Structure 1
Amino acid sequence: MGLSERITSAEVYRILNPSLRPTVVRLRTDAGTVGLGDTGVSYGAGTEAMPPLLAELLRTAVLGRPLSARHEILLELTYGTFWAKRAGSLFAGAVSAIDQALHDAAARALGVPLHELLGGRVHTRLPVYANGWYFGQHSEEDRLTAARRVVADGHRALKTYPLVRQDEEQRLRHPSPARWDSALLRSAIDHVRRLRERVGDDVRLMVDLGGCVPRDHAPELLGALRDLGVEFAEEPFDPADESSLHWLPTPAPVPVATGERLTGLAAFDRVLRTGAVSIIQPDVCLAGGHGVFQSVAALARGHSIRVSPHNCSSGIGTAHTVQAAAAVPNLHSVETFPYLSAVPGYREILTDPLEPRIEAGLLTVPDRPGIGVDLDDTVASAFLVKRLKERHI
C-alpha cells in the first residue's frame, strides 16, 4: 500500500534499564507496517513524564492519519500544540520520537532504508566512538583498566567524563557550581592524563565536561586538554549560557563541541553564529526529529563545521542516528554505547542491535528497510505502558 497506509495503533514503552530509562514508541498501520521512535529523554529528571505526553500527542495528532501526512503531522505538532513553538527537551523529545516513527514506517512501507528518504547515503561505514565503557567501574584504576580493554576490543575512539561521579544506579552526577573548586579541576586533568597514558597516543579521546566549568578555570582546563591530545571538549559551559561561547578565544585551545541539549533550528543557528563551536552535536531524538537534524547538518556545513550526533538512549535511537548520519556529508563521528549490555540488569529490547556490529571503530550502515532493527517483543512487552488505537467515528 505504501504511503497511503493509515496509522491505526501505537504502543508506548518505558524501558527500565540501569542508568538509561528511554521511552520508545511503535506505530502500526492498517497494512501491518511498523515504525519505531525514541524520545531521547532517557536520563535525568523527566523520564516518568514522557509516556503520558507521548500518548497525548499520538492520540490527538497521529492516529488515523496516512503515512503520506507525516510532514503535515509534524507541522501540526509544532504549530498546533502551543508549547512546541519553544519546546524544551521533554516536548521536543516526544515530537522527535513521533517524527522518527513516521519516517521509519514510511521507509518500511516503501521497502527502502530510511537514509533514502533523507537525501541518500553518502557514507557506507561510519566512524564511531565508544561511550559507557566506564559503567560498573567504581574506582579510577578500574575505569582505566576498562578503557584499555575497550582499545583491545578494536575501538579507536572513546569519550570520558573527568568531572562526574557515578551513583549506585550507574547514573552520572555532574558537579553544581556550588561544588566547584581547584581540586576538582586538578583531578579532572589528572584523570585525562592517566587515561591518555593507559590507551596510548593513537586513540582518539573526547572529553565531556557536562556544562560545569566556570570561566576563570576554563583556560587552564582547555589548555591542558589540548596538550593531552583531546579531539574535542564537549559542553565546557552551561548550554544555556551562549555568552561564554562568545568569550572563548578563536580558535579555542581545544575544539569545542555542543548541541545535545538544544532543540529547534533557531537554537542551533544562534550557537553556530558564535564562531566558537567546531563540532555540533544534534540529537535526532531530542532536537525535533529528522527534518531538524538534517537542517542543522546543512547549516553547519555552511559554517565549515562537522557534525557528531549526540546519541544516548535506546538501540532505536542508535539506529535512527546511524541512518541520519549516513546522509550527512560533513560527519565527524557517531556516539555509541557498545558496553551497556554488560551492565548487570540490562535487558536488550531489540532482536538485532547495531552496537555488536562495530568493527575497528566503524559501523556499517544497514540497508534493510526503515532503520534496520526491530523490537524483541519477548523483552519489550514487560515495559509496555500505553496501547492506543484509532477511534472510529
Structure 2
Amino acid sequence: MDQLKIEKIELFKVPPRWLFIKITTKCGIIGWGEPVVEGKADTVAACIKELEPYLIGRTANNIEDIWQILYRGGFYRGGPILMSAISGIDQALWDIKGKFLNVPVYELLGGAVRHKMKMYCWIGGDNPDVVLEQAHAKVMQGYKAVKMNATGAMDWVSSLKDIKKVANNIKLLREEFGHDLDIGLDFHGRVHKPMVKRLIDELEPYEPMFIEEPVLSENNDTLKHIYSYTSIPIATGERMFSRWDFKGILNHGVVDIIQPDLSHAGGISEVRRIATMAEAYDIAIAPHCPLGPISLASALQLDFVSSNAVIQESSLGIHYNKGYDILDYVLNPEALEVENGYIKLFEKPGLGIEINEEKLKEGQKIGHNWANPIWRNQDGNFAEW
C-alpha cells in the first residue's frame, strides 16, 4: 500500500466556526475530515500538528492501528481536544480508503441497513414569533422534525414565571402543527438538577420527541432520578468523547438516546463502536452535528450502517452559520438534500461529498475567532450557555 502513504497534512480554518483537515497520499488521493471543538479551533489545530509525526509516512489504509496509536500513544488519553483531533484524522482516513476502493464508507463498515436517514434541524427557542416562522421554513425545506432550545439562561432554582415560559414555544408548535412535526427540546446543560423535574412537568403535555442534555454530562449520575420520573425519552452525549465515557450511562440504563458527535468522539471508528455498545443495551443513537458538511457526511455514513440510529441532526441554516453554510463548501450539494424528511443513501465513494477547495481557500482568508458567549444571571452569577 505504498501508494497510500501519507505525504501531506493541511488545515483550513474557515467561517463560520469550522476547521477542516486535508490528508494527501502519495498516489494523490485526498481525504477530508472536520476536527474542531467549537471555540477551540486553534487548540485542536495545535494538537494535530503534534500528532503529525505519527501520520506522515504511514499508509492511510491502516486506520485502526493509527487510531490506537493516536489515542494510546501519548499516555494521557481522551478529552475534547485530543479526541476531536483524532476524529477529523479518522474521517479523512476513511474518506481515502473509500475513494481508493471506489466504494462509500458505509460499504466498508458492513453495508447499509437503510436506504435513507431521517433528519432534523435546529430552530430558535427564544421568541414565539421566530419559533413559528423558522419551523414553517424548515417544513418547507422538507424537514419533518426540528429541535429547539428549551430555555435561555437559568438560575439554579428559577422562578415560577421562568418555568411557565419554557413550555410556551413547544405549545405554539403543537397547536400549529399537531403531531405532524416531531419536536426535540435541548436543555443544553443549562438546567441544574433542582429545576429539571419542574420543567418536565410543564413540558410533558406537549409530548416532545426527546429531552436533550437535561443536566451537564459531568452530572450524569443524577440521570437516574430524572429517567425514572418521566416517559419522555432522555438524550445525552454530545460532551462525551469515547466508549469509556458512555460506558457508565449505558450500564446504568439511564438514557434512551445517545448523541456522540462524529467530530468529537473519535470519528467514524469510535462512534461505530459506541453505537454497537448502545445496541447491546437496546438504546438508540442520534449523532450530534451542529458543525459542517464533513462532520455531517461522516455522521450519515455511521447512520447508514447502524440499526439503532433513529434520527440525524443537520446544521443547515443554524444561527451560527452567518455568511457561510454547510452547502457552500460542497461541490455536490444534492447529496445532502432533504427530501420528505430524509437524506438518501450516498452513492459517491469515500464520505460521499466533494469539497470545493477554491471556496475553502476563500474562506480560509477570512478565518474565524468564534467563541461561545458568556452568560450571567440577573445577580451577576455565571449561567450555563
TM-score by length of 1: 0.86
Instruction: Kindly indicate whether the alpha-carbon contact (under 8 Å) linking 1:147 and 1:199 is maintained by their aligned counterparts in 2.
Output: no
Q: Following the alignment from structure 1 to structure 2, what is the Cα–Cα distance between the partners of residues 8 and 257?
A: 41
Instruction: Kindly indicate whether the alpha-carbon contact (under 8 Å) linking 1:258 and 1:279 is maintained by their aligned counterparts in 2.
Output: yes
Q: Sequence identity, in percent?
A: 25
**What runs of 5+ residues in structure 1 fail to find an aligned partner?**
165-174, 386-393
Q: Residues 308-352 of structure 1, C-alpha deviation per residue, up to 9 Å, x if partnerless?
A: 111111101111111111010111111112325996522522212
Instruction: Kindly indicate whether the alpha-carbon contact (under 8 Å) linking 2:151 and 2:187 is maintained by their aligned counterparts in 1.
Output: yes
| The one of 273, 277, 283 aligned to 2:255 | 277
1:359 and 2:359 correspond: no
Instruction: Kindly indicate whether the alpha-carbon contact (under 8 Å) linking 1:301 and 1:330 is maintained by their aligned counterparts in 2.
Output: yes
Counterpart residue type for residue 367 of structure 1:
E
Q: Residues 184-215 of structure 1, C-alpha deviation per residue, up to 9 Å, x if partnerless?
A: 32221112212222333221111100112222
The SS at the match of 2:163 is helix
Counterpart residue type for residue 11 of structure 1:
E
1:15 and 2:14 correspond: yes
The SS at the match of 1:10 is strand
Q: How far 1:236 moved relative to its partner? A: 0.4
The SS at the match of 1:359 is coil
CA change 1:54–1:343 in 2 (3 A) is closer
Q: Following the alignment from structure 2 to structure 1, what is the Cα–Cα distance between the partners of residues 93 and 81?
A: 19
The SS at the match of 2:167 is helix
After TM superposition, the runs of 4+ consecutive aligned structure 1 residues lying more than 6 A away are none
The residue number in structure 1 matching 2:69 is 76
Q: Residues 155-176 of structure 1, C-alpha deviation per residue, up to 9 Å, x if partnerless?
A: 1100010213xxxxxxxxxx36
Q: After TM superposition, list the pairs within 5 Å mapping 1:295-306 onto structure 2.
A: 295-306=273-284
Q: Following the alignment from structure 1 to structure 2, what is the Cα–Cα distance between the partners of residues 242 and 365?
A: 34
CA change 1:281–1:138 in 2 (3 A) is closer
The residue number in structure 1 matching 2:134 is 146
Counterpart residue type for residue 25 of structure 1:
I
The SS at the match of 2:209 is strand
**What runs of 5+ residues in structure 2 fail to find an aligned partner?**
366-385
The residue number in structure 1 matching 2:382 is none
The residue number in structure 2 matching 1:333 is 311
The SS at the match of 1:316 is helix
1:110 and 2:109 correspond: no
The SS at the match of 2:218 is coil
The residue number in structure 2 matching 1:391 is none
Instruction: Kindly indicate whether the alpha-carbon contact (under 8 Å) linking 1:210 and 1:234 is maintained by their aligned counterparts in 2.
Output: yes
The residue number in structure 2 matching 1:167 is none
Instruction: Kindly indicate whether the alpha-carbon contact (under 8 Å) linking 2:164 and 2:202 is maintained by their aligned counterparts in 1.
Output: no
Q: Following the alignment from structure 2 to structure 1, what is the Cα–Cα distance between the partners of residues 181 and 332?
A: 28
The SS at the match of 2:201 is helix
Q: Following the alignment from structure 1 to structure 2, what is the Cα–Cα distance between the partners of residues 245 and 138?
A: 26
Q: How far 1:35 moved relative to its partner? A: 0.6
1:130 and 2:121 correspond: yes
Q: How far 1:266 moved relative to its partner? A: 1.1
Instruction: Kindly indicate whether the alpha-carbon contact (under 8 Å) linking 1:3 and 1:110 is maintained by their aligned counterparts in 2.
Output: no
